[in-house]
Amino acid sequence: MTRKSRKVHIVATFKLADARQQGQCLLADDAEKWQADVDHLLPLVDAIVSQTERRVLKGEKVPAREKVVSLYEPHTDIIVKDRRQVQVWP
Q: In this structure, are residues 28 and 20 in contact, taking their beta carbons and an 8 Å threshold?
A: yes
- pLDDT tens for residues 1-43? 577 888 888 898 888 888 888 887 768 788 888 889 888 888 8
CB atoms within 10 A of CB 54: 14
pLDDT over threshold 60, residue 79: yes
| Angstrom distance (rounded) from CA 12 to CA 6 | 10
pLDDT of residue 60: 93
